[in-house]
Amino acid sequence: MRIFEVTAHMSTDTDNYGTSINSWNAKERHKVKEIPMSRLITFEHPDKMKNPTSKQNMMKLAKAYHMGEKIPPIMVKKHEDKYMVLDGHHRFFAAKLAGIRAIPAIVIPDEKITID
């Protein structure tokens, strides 16, 4: 089983909206687990994947999922009864496009997430 050490920082600044991940914080380790696609939500709008560069990246990832290639896990946080994607939106949308039922993810605890 793979174990990663993770912290996350979420920015609400409209010029830098998103999440940055520090995957080598030595304080705590997190296990990769399979999360059903039906339990995932995203703060990225699906229309972002219509951008030519994003669409190209998503299509490459979808093909990789179909071919059974190992793709790095997405990063998520618990959100009500679901999980919110913090990092890995292209992987999420590609897995959805490829018909994947569950995706590898690292669940980052709320105490490891900072928001500005």
* CATH classification of the domain holding 76: 3.90.1530.10
Residue 17 pLDDT class (50, 70, 90 cuts): very low
As a whole number, mean pLDDT of residues 42-68 equals 90
Range of the domain at 13: 3-115
pTM of the model: 0.75
Number of domains, the chain: 1
Give the separation between CA 26 and CA 16, rounded to whole angstroms: 26
Helix (H, G, I), strand (E, B) or coil at 112: helix
